[in-house]
C-alpha cells in the first residue's frame, strides 16, 4: 500500500514537471512543482483507493492541499502561487474520462439506428463529460481558494523585502 502511494507520487511528479515545462516555469520552481504534483496526486490516490471517497471530492481535497503548500513554497522560491500550483494540478486532470466521452460520442454516431445502443452511449457520454468537467472545476477552485483566503500573502510572494 505504501509503495503504491509512493510510486503514484513519483509518476505524478514526472508528469507535473513535464507538462509544466510547456509553460516555461523559472528554473528555481521545478523542484517545488514536482513535489506539489507528487503530494497532490498521491493524496488523491490515497483518498480514492483507501478512504473510499469519490474522484470529485478527493480531487478537491488534493487541490486544496496543493494550494496551501504552494503558499509555503512560494515564499521559499519567490514565485507567484499560480506558477507553482497550475503545473501541479495538470496530472490530476481526468484525461481518461475526457477520452471516454469522446469515444462514446463516436460510438453514438455509429449507432443512431439502434435506439437501445444510442441511449447507452449518450448516457456514457453525459456521465463521463460531467465527471471530467466537475473535476477540472473543483481542481481550479480548490487551489485558488488560498488566493482569496490570504490575498495579501498570495500577492507578496515575489517581494524580496518582507514587511512583518
Residues that bind other proteins (CB under 8 A): 8, 11-12, 14-26, 29, 41, 78-80, 82-83, 86-87, 89-91, 93, 95-96, 98-100, 102-103, 105-107, 110, 136-137, 139-141, 143-144, 147-148, 155-161
Collect all residues with Cβ–Cβ distance below 8 Å to 37 and sequence separation of at least 6: 12, 13, 15, 16, 17, 20, 87, 88, 90, 91
Minimum distance from residue 155 beta carbon to other proteins (Å): 6
Rounded least distance, CB 140 to other proteins, Å: 4
Q: Cβ closer to other proteins: 30 or 53? A: 30
Judged by beta carbon, residue 16 or residue 71, the one nearer other proteins is 16
Identify the CA nearest to 124 among candidates 99, 157, 148, 141.
99
When the beta carbons of 61 and 87 are compared against other proteins, the nearer one is 87
Q: Are 46 and 59 in contact (CB under 8 A)?
A: no
The least distance separating other proteins from the CB of residue 3, rounded to whole angstroms, comes to: 14
C-alpha cell at 149: 483566503
Q: How many CB atoms lie within 10 A of CB 124?
A: 17
- The least distance separating other proteins from the CB of residue 25, rounded to whole angstroms, comes to 4
Element (H, E) at 77: helix 55-77
Amino acid at each position: 500500500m505504501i509503495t503504491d502511494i509512493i510510486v503514484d507520487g513519483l509518476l505524478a511528479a514526472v508528469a507535473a514537471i513535464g507538462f509544466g515545462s510547456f509553460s516555461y516555469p523559472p528554473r528555481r520552481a521545478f523542484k517545488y512543482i514536482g513535489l506539489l504534483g507528487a503530494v497532490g496526486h498521491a493524496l488523491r490516490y490515497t483518498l480514492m483507493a483507501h478512504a473510499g471517497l469519490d474522484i470529485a471530492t478527493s480531487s478537491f481535497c488534493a487541490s486544496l492541499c496543493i494550494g496551501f503548500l504552494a503558499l509555503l513554497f512560494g515564499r521559499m522560491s519567490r514565485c507567484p502561487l499560480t506558477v507553482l500550483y497550475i503545473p501541479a494540478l495538470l496530472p490530476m486532470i481526468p484525461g481518461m474520462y475526457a477520452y471516454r466521452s469522446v469515444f462514446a460520442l463516436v460510438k453514438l454516431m455509429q449507432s443512431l439506428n439502434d435506439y437501445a445502443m444510442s441511449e447507452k452511449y449518450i448516457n456514457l457520454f453525459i456521465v463521463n463529460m460531467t465527471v471530467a468537467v466537475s473535476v477540472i472545476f473543483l481542481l481550479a477552485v480548490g487551489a485558488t481558494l488560498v488566493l482569496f483566503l490570504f490575498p495579501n500573502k498570495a500577492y507578496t510572494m515575489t517581494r524580496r523585502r518582507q514587511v512583518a
